[in-house]
Chain A
Amino acid sequence: MIGMQKVAIIGVGMTDFGELWDKSLRDLTVQAGLEAIRDSGLPGEEIDALYAGCMSSGIFVQQEHISSILADYCGLTPKASTRVEGACASGGLALRQAIMAVASGMYDFVVAGGVEKMTDILTEQTTMALACAADREWEAFQGVTFPGLYAMMARRHMHDFGTTEEQLSQVAVKNHKNGAKNPHAQYRRPVTIEQVKGSSLIADPIRLLHCSPISDGAAAVVVASEEKAREAESDPIWVLGTGQASDTIALHDRREITTMDATVAAGREALDMAGLTIGDIDLVEVHDCFTIAEIAAIEDLGFFPKGEGGKATEDGLTELEGQIPVNPSGGLKSKGHPVGATGIAQAVEVVLQLRGKAGKRQVRDASIGMTHNVGGSGGTCVTHILGR
């Protein structure tokens, strides 16, 4: 990084993802945060600052000012604490802020966390909260839902490139197969393609089993400067590159409905920063809020040419043993999607994979991993590249 220091992740932690009735938003954050700090081997007083990603605590639990709550309940006061919001990219953005804060030389150790507590309200209210990530005045007001937006993306993708419902369903099958091997995942059972294709329609052509679930959960990582990382107990996982980009909030204003320009730009920025090409990536955690999102992501990041993401999935190229394992954690689909936590959880997975600690879902010879986190229908994208 030009003008900036090298930065590493030295500790990771996450809660189970799922419907966690017994855990409050505070409970979840404390659990993940403590686990990450313990994993880093640091005493808590060494932490200099905290960045927390959380999309909609105001609607879900009627609580804003998360920055103060988390510093308070994690025992980190009086350190600087900041809440970061970018819809479903809140976690990834929090990580990037933490990286920049350490790389600037301002701090030695920063915790980047993400949390979302989504199940304290009714499903209809949750759907309304999630619609806040879309354009409320000109999309949600007219009656479109999040599944509806991605469904329109899917239909256009099918029209332009011949992507099939079969291929959309195969993404879910693969991710559930991986998630079944992830002890933290919300769903740990494989599903068959017949089950996916037979699940009820939410917004044509998207079916229930094409959608990531509503989840509670939290995740956290500890970011350290190069000097401090080398002194740490565990092997540091280096941040080789990071990228971030914005795009129009409304799907109808995008340059092309089937391409997330923010993904293209953020992916390229991270690769350029790392001095790598897409072929150097050994595994990637992408933002599969809906199965079409994974197909578009692997195209827009450059793993496959535009339009061929569906076929690549069908041909097994993105399986755990495939050419480029995509979502070895089970992805948002199977692992769960507590919105603010997702971006951090993706980094946790890549760190575990690079450390060789991913158990039954370990990708062989993993030395460089990538994360891809999206906000809304593509208005924000943030990517990270981590390496041993």
Chain B
Amino acid sequence: MGVPRFWREIPYRYQLIGTRCSTCDSSFFPPRAICPKCRGAGNVEETKLSGKGEVVTYTVVRVAPEGFERETPYIVAIVRLEEGPRITSQIVDCDIDEIEIGTKVRAVFRKVGEESPSGAIYYSYKFVPA
């Protein structure tokens, strides 16, 4: 992807900054400008999420998309963060049979990919068992 597209999301990916609607007390990640429940009546501000969560569901990717070939097999999960929103991410630093629905995880900072060997490096959140 072009560098501006990656750069724009840096604070959100690096620090897990989402948004919170104070009208209905819902948190969102990735950040949303419009609260889907309150719409116009919502009051939405940025909020830093703790990175703690639990596994809602997961899979083991064995046939990788472009750029992820060296990592197979790897675990991808939907994690529910303790503030409420769900997030899709890899789970690393664990064996495949260590993960099940309900496993507690926490966010870490890892390399997710690169544009090419000569291109920009993409960093983002991943999760490890807590």
Residues of A in contact with B (beta carbons under 8 Å apart): 124-125, 127-128, 131, 135, 137-145, 147-148, 151-153, 155-156, 159, 200-206, 250-253, 257
Contacts and interface: CB of A to CB of B under 8 A. Distances in A.
Which residue, B57, B60, B126, has most C-beta atoms of chain A within 10 A?
A: B57
Contact of B65 (A137, A140, A155): A140
B64 A145 contact: yes
A255 to B, nearest CB: 11
13 contacts: A127-B66, A143-B64, A144-B61, A144-B76, A144-B88, A145-B61, A148-B59, A148-B76, A155-B58, A203-B61, A252-B85, A252-B86, A253-B86
Contacts of A203: 59-63, 76
A371 B33 CA distance: 36
B34 interface: no
B123 to A, nearest CB: 11
A142 B76 contact: yes
B101 A159 contact: yes
Contacts of B122: 141
A127 B65 contact: yes
A142 B58 CA distance: 13
B113 to A, nearest CB: 8
Contacts, number: 99
Interface string B65-102: 11010010010111000000111111000000000010
A290 to B, nearest CB: 11
Given A203-B63, A252-B78, A257-B78, A138 B30 contact: yes
A152 B63 contact: no
A128 B66 CA distance: 7
The 9 closest A-B pairs by CB, nearest first: A151-B59, A252-B86, A156-B57, A204-B60, A152-B57, A203-B59, A144-B76, A252-B78, A124-B66
B9 interface: yes
A201 B78 contact: no
B27 interface: no
Given A143-B76, A152-B78, A155-B101, A251 B63 contact: no
Contacts of B59: 144, 147-148, 151-152, 155, 203-206
B42 to A, nearest CB: 16
A152 B56 CA distance: 9
A141 B65 CA distance: 10
Interface residues of B, number: 31
B19 interface: no
Q: Is the interface of B mostly helix, strand, loop or mixed?
A: strand
Interface of B: 9, 30, 56-66, 68, 71, 74, 76-78, 85-90, 101, 112-113, 122, 124, 126
A203 B72 CA distance: 10
A141 B57 contact: no
B63 A143 contact: no
A202 B63 CA distance: 5
A250 B86 CA distance: 10
B57 A137 contact: no
Given A125-B66, A143-B74, A147-B63, A257 B30 contact: no
Contacts of B89: 142
A203 B61 CA distance: 4
A201 B126 CA distance: 23
Given A142-B89, A142-B124, A202-B63, A152 B58 contact: yes
A131 B65 CA distance: 9
Contact of B88 (A131, A142, A151): A142
Contacts of A200: 62
A125 B67 CA distance: 11
Contacts of B62: 200-204
Contacts of B113: 141, 143
Contacts of B68: 143
A145 B88 CA distance: 11
Contacts of B71: 143
Contacts of A131: 65
